[in-house]
Amino acid sequence: ACFSPPFYPFRDNFYVFNSLHDLIELRHLQKRILDEKKRATEWAIIGGGLIGCELSSDLAVSGDKVSLFHAENRLMERQLVAEDSLKLLAVMHSHSIDVKFQQAIQAIEKIDGRTSILTEEGHSVYDAVIVSCGFKPRTELAGNIGLETQRGILVNRYLQTSDKNIFSLGDVAELPDNKLYAYILPIRSQANWLATYLCGQETAGWQVPDFSAVAKVHGFEADHPYVF
């Protein structure tokens, strides 16, 4: 169980949103800017996936100015069909969120107490930057002991690695469909299934349970099923 840490480029110059401590830190920054500068906070969010879109929406609805940088050409491309991505974009625009697509972040720097983002288009400056770029499975240990890895640790439908005596589950386990299931419900399902399998009470391989992670973006509701 080696878990998957968040992906952190340019770590010293931005915030993340992974714990209660992170939330408190961001709220303190928001309050300080309002108290000292008498204006809303100007945020840059890097990552247009599920968490990045939800966070951008929450901050914008609270009255802050938000720019959302995304490396792909549509929002939540791993969870939404193209039509719903367009609908989500329209909702984000209705909240005055500045969405920037196909953005390769080259640097994040501190300048005079604010934070600068460098892309091919040049510099843009914000009060703070929050990175929400997903996670990178921690496969080093598995690789060092000779287990097969790609994006994650390769497993079969029985959650067995290339060494049949070693099992892997959670968001580091890459299933035969080449997917990593980084959501609570399927991870719990894997843990429960593996316990029964190891006790000899299960013979069929693990099956992906029915689940959905709905984007909690103010004013948005997908017209099609989510894709996972």
Q: Tell me the pLDDT of the chain (228 aa) as tens digits.
A: 555 555 555 456 788 877 788 888 888 989 999 999 999 999 999 999 999 999 999 999 999 999 999 999 999 998 899 999 999 999 999 999 999 999 999 999 988 889 999 999 999 999 999 998 877 888 999 999 999 999 999 999 999 999 999 999 998 999 999 999 888 889 999 999 999 999 999 999 999 988 777 889 999 999 998 887
CATH numbers and ranges of domains, the chain: 11-131 (3.50.50.60), 140-198 (3.50.50.60)
Tokens of 62: 């609270």
Output the pLDDT for position 3. Answer: 53
Q: CA nearest 46: which of 138, 137, 116, 96?
A: 116
- Beta carbons of 34 and 40 less than 8 angstroms apart: yes
Catalogue the E-assigned strands of the chain.
42-46, 65-69, 98-100, 107-111, 114-119, 122-126, 128-131, 153-154, 173-174
- Sign, CA dihedral 32-35-38-40, equals positive
Output the pLDDT for position 48. Answer: 96
Instruction: Identify residue 53 by its one-letter amino acid code.
Output: C
Question: Residue with structure tokens 């609270």?
Answer: 62
